[in-house]
Amino acid sequence: MTMGIAEIIFFLVGAVAIASAFGVILHPHPVYSALSLVVALFQIAVLFILLDAPTVAFLQVLVYAGAIMVLFLFVIMLLNLGRDSAAAPAGWKLTALGAGGLLGAELAAFFLLRVVPPSAVGALDPGFGSVKALAHALFTDHALSFEITSILLLVAMVGAVVLARRGID
């Protein structure tokens, strides 16, 4: 494989994504975990752009790194969380890290060595991944799912208001 500009960006961004993902799970302070997660989400948005999905990358930054992470940081600061009071026992820590390392190595080896990549013949459509293409797929083939999603969001909004209200018995 020749190292073009796309490969260099991929390996750079992938390394930062893995490093910041480790930051999420290893940093003892929840605020730094949340900020590491923002970095990881931005790296994944860059990977989406490399994969010809600019609309999804835009939504990733707007919805995930923007709205959802603000919600997380808001709750962390509202509850005034500091460092974790008690860490997990050392034996359990080692077991979790070992099992997770095995899982990661297994998944990576499986995808790299055993999976035949799906590949369509011919060149990519010029509008692939654009807002227009995504909206067309969303409002024709997946219109029913789209409508059901709006009900889900309504239910989630009502549920969040009811649960977070003070004086619930």
Partner 1 sequence: MVPVQYYLALAGILFAIGAVGVALRRNVIVMFMSIELMLNAANLAFVAIARGLHSMDGQVIVFFVMTVAAAEAAVGLAIILASFRNRTTLDAAQLSSLKW
Q: List CB contacts of 44: < 8 A, sequence separation 6 or more.
A: 17, 60
Q: Which of 16, 58, 147, 163 binds partner 1 (CB under 8 A)?
A: 163
Q: Site for partner 1 (CB under 8 A): how many residues?
A: 88
Minimum CB distance to partner 1, residue 166 (Å): 8
| 3-state class percentages of the chain: helix first, strand second, coil last, to nearest 5 | 75, 0, 25
Per-residue string for binding with partner 1, 24-63, x by CB under 8 A?
xx----x--xx--x--xx--x--xx-xxxx-xx--xx--x
Is 17 in a helix, a strand, or coil?
A: helix
Minimum CB distance to partner 1, residue 133 (Å): 5
Please list every residue from 64 through 123 that binds partner 1, using CB under 8 A.
64, 67-68, 71-72, 75-76, 78-79, 81, 84-88, 93, 96-97, 99-101, 103-104, 107-108, 110-112, 115, 117-120, 122
Minimum CB distance to partner 1, residue 57 (Å): 9
Q: Which of 90, 124, 126, 147 binds partner 1 (CB under 8 A)?
A: 124
Start-to-end CA distance of the chain, whole Å, equals: 62
Diameter over CA atoms, the chain: 63
Minimum CB distance to partner 1, residue 32 (Å): 10
Q: List CB contacts of 131: < 8 A, sequence separation 6 or more.
A: 55
For residue 154, give the amino acid letter.
L
Contact 37, 92 (CB under 8 A): no
Q: Which of 21, 39, 58, 61 binds partner 1 (CB under 8 A)?
A: 21
